[in-house]
């Protein structure tokens, strides 16, 4: 079985889609008409430094993801058995499943980006090396009641979102607990209760569209289970203010693999390898079935997986390798150490100019 994964915000970079715009000239022209600007110029040149602004990022990623998918279909001529997308990428998963056409999806994403860019001031931060329950306990213990879990990316990479003052205050508490804390460069508290007004406006906007039953299952960020056709409007609106349960969705697909006895292959469709790296971490860290033993409760298994990751990294990437972080504020990095195990489930590497370490699962190549 095959699952296609579509990346979301944070995977963008200048130059993405370079081989696709001319190949799909008709769709590129349609995109320009809907957006009112050249999508090709935005992605390849970004002369006005807009690519990292939410209202431009989301249409750009949607178009590149969509063209990448159409290119894949031309080469393979077969649809996947399942699709899943991370936040914005979920719109591409629904497109691939035939819930709407390219033009409709781009209109939805354009409106979504505009609404999110107008969201009330807030902040977000990524936390590494702390579990979901640990994060919730720290927030509760310190009275940070205006902070929500926004992205459950892996069991040890979780994003929080909420009131700016409390996100800033939270940093010291998490670092005191031994977690790695990365403030994210976002303009709002996305995927939190603070997106309620945007969610309501998006709901009103979606009333003007009709959606079809998915041709194959699409895993929802909100439920971590397949969409039903009647849930499309509800889930797309809920997604704006709800946690993205990415890790749970991937675990659901992995469990299908075990239950059916048929190998599940995952392929990232779009720009970059953010989701591919998250997938590798999830496979190493989450319990796959109720009968299996989790890597966290089996030190020998987790050590073996981490050691294999470290050996593969060091064989392929010598000191001085140029990488980027999946987090926008840490870019153009250069390694200053080989990879090593910080703990039984965490492989890390150190960077020139930075005191702290970076987990291998948060790095992508330039």
Task: Give the DSSP per-residue string, 144-178.
Answer: -TTEEEEEEEETTEEEEEE-HHHHHHHHHHHHHTT
Cβ distance 31 to 66 under 8 Å? Answer: no
Q: Based on the domain organization, do 112 and 253 belong to the same domain?
A: yes
Q: Based on the domain organization, do 226 and 102 belong to the same domain?
A: yes
- Best CA proximity match to 153, nearest among 262, 229, 250, 272: 250
pLDDT (0 to 100) of residue 288:
44
**Cα angle at 189 between 143 and 361, to 5 degrees?**
90
Q: Is residue 280 part of a domain?
A: no
Residue with tokens 């470290």: 310
Output helix, strand, coil percentages for the chain, rounded to the nearest 5.
45, 20, 35
pLDDT (0 to 100) of residue 365:
64
Told to judge if 191 belongs to the known catalytic residues of this protein, a careful annotator would answer yes
Cβ distance 199 to 191 under 8 Å? Answer: no
Residues in the chain, pLDDT under 70: 257, 259-260, 285-303, 327-330, 342-345, 353-357, 365-366
Please give the Cα distance from 349 to 135 (Å, whole number).
Answer: 24
DSSP string across 200-232: HHHHHHHTT---PPPSS-EE-TTTSSB--GGGH
Residue 149, phi then psi, degrees to nearest 5 = -75, 125
Cβ distance 118 to 202 under 8 Å? Answer: no
Catalytic option among 11, 68, 86, 87: 87
Catalytic option among 11, 68, 161, 191: 191
Domain tally, the chain: 3
pLDDT (0 to 100) of residue 42:
97
Q: Based on the domain organization, do 360 and 329 belong to the same domain?
A: yes
Q: Based on the domain organization, do 106 and 226 belong to the same domain?
A: yes
Residue 30's SS3 state is: helix
Domain extent for 359 = 298-365
Q: Based on the domain organization, do 21 and 92 belong to the same domain?
A: yes
Q: Based on the domain organization, do 18 and 145 belong to the same domain?
A: no
At 267-289, the pLDDT tens digits run: 999 998 999 999 999 988 655 44
Told to judge if 142 belongs to the known catalytic residues of this protein, a careful annotator would answer no
């Amino acid at each position: 079985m095959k699952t296609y994964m579509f990346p979301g915000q944070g995977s963008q970079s200048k130059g993405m889609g370079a081989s696709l715009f001319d190949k799909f000239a008709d769709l590129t022209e349609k995109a320009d008409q809907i957006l009112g600007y050249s999508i090709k110029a935005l992605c390849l040149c970004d002369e006005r430094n807009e690519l990292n602004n939410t209202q431009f990022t989301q249409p750009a990623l949607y178009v590149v993801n969509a063209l990448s998918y159409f290119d894949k279909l031309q080469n393979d001529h077969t649809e996947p058995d399942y699709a899943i997308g991370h936040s914005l990428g979920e719109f591409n998963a629904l497109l691939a499943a035939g819930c709407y056409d390219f033009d409709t999806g781009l209109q939805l994403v354009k409106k979504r980006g505009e609404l999110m860019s107008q969201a009330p001031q807030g902040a977000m931060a990524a936390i590494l090396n702390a579990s979901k329950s640990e994060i919730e306990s720290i927030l509760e213990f310190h009275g940070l009641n205006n902070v929500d879990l926004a992205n459950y990316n892996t069991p040890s990479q979780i994003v929080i979102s909420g009131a700016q003052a409390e996100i800033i205050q939270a940093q010291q508490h998490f670092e005191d607990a031994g977690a790695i804390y990365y403030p994210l460069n976002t303009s709002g508290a996305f995927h939190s209760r603070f997106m309620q007004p945007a969610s309501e406006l998006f709901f009103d906007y979606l009333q003007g569209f009709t959606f079809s039953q998915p041709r194959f299952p699409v895993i929802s960020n909100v439920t971590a289970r397949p969409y039903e056709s009647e849930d499309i409007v509800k889930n797309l609106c809920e997604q704006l203010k709800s946690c993205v349960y990415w890790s749970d969705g991937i675990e659901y697909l992995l469990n299908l693999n075990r239950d059916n006895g048929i190998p599940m292959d995952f392929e990232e469709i779009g720009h970059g390898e953010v989701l591919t790296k998250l997938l590798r971490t999830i496979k190493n860290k989450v319990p796959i079935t109720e009968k299996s033993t989790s890597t966290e409760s089996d030190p020998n298994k987790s050590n073996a997986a981490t050691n294999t990751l470290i050996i593969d990294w060091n064989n392929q990437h010598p000191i001085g390798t140029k990488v980027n972080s999946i987090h926008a504020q840490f870019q153009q990095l250069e390694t200053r150490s080989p990879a090593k195990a910080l703990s039984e489930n965490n492989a890390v590497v150190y960077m020139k100019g930075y005191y702290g370490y970076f987990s291998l699962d948060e790095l992508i190549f330039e």
